[in-house]
């Protein structure tokens, strides 16, 4: 499992206790437990209200991403996997940017309604890991504004499966007519986790394509990286990754 979900608690994916567990008050997105928004013009929806254009567009973007990643993970078209994921992550980040740019969404209920059991993302994670095996592990400095630190090892498969799970949580609310609840969750989880995660994954995917297009060798994996010791040398991992990307982009090596 990616260190992002283990060692970086403020950015952990959704669990029943996200600081605002099911059956507990929502509170403010920015840490105000009383949800004091006297200086804001909140984005609101009432129970049973029809979603406005903004809500429909965000929901469409979320659903499109979930469906696309699920289809890519089936492995039917491995040659286009990285390119498709690059497009889908880019488009999802546009929706996330829109969520981050608006005022705090204020849900109708003070308590988050139970959305039922969380979806099991293990099968999706395993399929993505098998599909992306030579290039799954990447490295990222977790917080560019934090204290200087060494890059951490993450997995694209872990990250994408986690993001899909978070988005599905909001989709459950949306499909059951709790529009404000869905928007609140997508906004909260974008700011607290999946925005950072998708930004890191986007950099990794863009870097892979750039390495091949610019004929720049992919560097060897640093000592101590989480690569699930599979008996391959750093040089072999590098060669596999380069060959995979060259084949995907239709380029000879």
Please report the pLDDT score of residue 7 as a whole number: 31
Backbone phi and psi for residue 134, each to the nearest 5 degrees, phi listed first: -70, -20
Q: Are 184 and 9 in contact (CB under 8 A)?
A: no
Q: How far is it, in rounded angstroms, from Cα 194 to Cα 12?
A: 9
Structure tokens of 244? 């995979």
Please report the pLDDT score of residue 240 as a whole number: 57
Structure tokens of 50? 């029809």
Predicted TM-score (pTM) of this structure:
0.69
Please report the pLDDT score of residue 235 as a whole number: 55
Q: How far is it, in rounded angstroms, from Cα 136 to Cα 119?
A: 23
Task: Look up residue 11 and give its DSSP letter.
Answer: G
DSSP string over 77-116: -GGGHHHHHHHHHHHHHHHHHHHHHSPPEE-SSSBPPP--
| pLDDT in 10s for each residue of the chain, 253 residues | 333 332 333 333 333 322 333 343 454 444 433 233 323 334 555 444 567 899 999 999 999 999 999 999 999 988 889 999 999 999 999 999 999 999 998 887 666 766 666 777 899 999 999 999 989 999 887 677 877 778 889 999 999 999 999 999 999 999 999 999 999 999 999 999 999 999 999 999 999 888 877 876 676 444 444 444 444 454 555 555 556 555 555 555 4
Q: How far is it, in rounded angstroms, from Cα 185 to Cα 190?
A: 8
Say how many CA atoms lie within 13 Å of 61 toward its Cβ.
Answer: 21
Number of CB atoms found within 10 A of residue 226's CB: 17
**Cβ neighbours of residue 143 under 8 Å, at least 6 residues apart?**
149
Which of 4, 46, 2 shows the shortest CA–CA distance to 181? 46
Backbone phi and psi for residue 227, each to the nearest 5 degrees, phi listed first: -120, 10
């Amino acid at each position: 499992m990616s260190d992002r979900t283990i060692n970086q608690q403020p950015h952990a994916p959704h669990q029943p206790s996200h600081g605002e567990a099911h059956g507990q008050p929502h509170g403010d997105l920015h840490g105000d437990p009383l949800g004091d928004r006297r200086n804001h013009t909140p984005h609101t929806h009432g129970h049973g209200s029809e979603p406005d254009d903004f809500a429909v567009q965000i929901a469409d973007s979320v659903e499109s991403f979930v469906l696309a990643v699920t289809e890519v993970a089936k492995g039917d078209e491995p040659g286009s996997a990285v390119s498709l994921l690059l497009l889908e992550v880019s488009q999802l980040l546009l929706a996330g940017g829109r969520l981050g740019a608006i005022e705090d969404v204020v849900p109708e209920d003070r308590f988050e309604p139970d959305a039922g059991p969380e979806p099991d993302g293990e099968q999706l994670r395993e399929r993505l890991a098998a599909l992306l095996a030579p290039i799954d592990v990447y490295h990222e400095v977790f917080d560019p504004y934090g204290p200087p630190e060494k890059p951490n090892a993450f997995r694209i498969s872990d990250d994408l499966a986690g993001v899909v799970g978070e988005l599905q949580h909001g989709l459950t609310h949306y499909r059951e007519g709790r529009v404000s609840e869905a928007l609140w969750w997508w906004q909260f989880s974008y700011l607290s986790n999946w925005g950072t995660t998708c930004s890191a994954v986007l950099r990794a995917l863009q870097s892979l394509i750039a390495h091949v297009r610019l004929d720049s060798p992919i560097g060897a994996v640093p000592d101590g990286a989480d690569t699930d010791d599979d008996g391959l040398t750093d040089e072999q991992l590098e060669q596999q990754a380069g060959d995979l990307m060259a084949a995907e982009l239709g380029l000879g090596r």
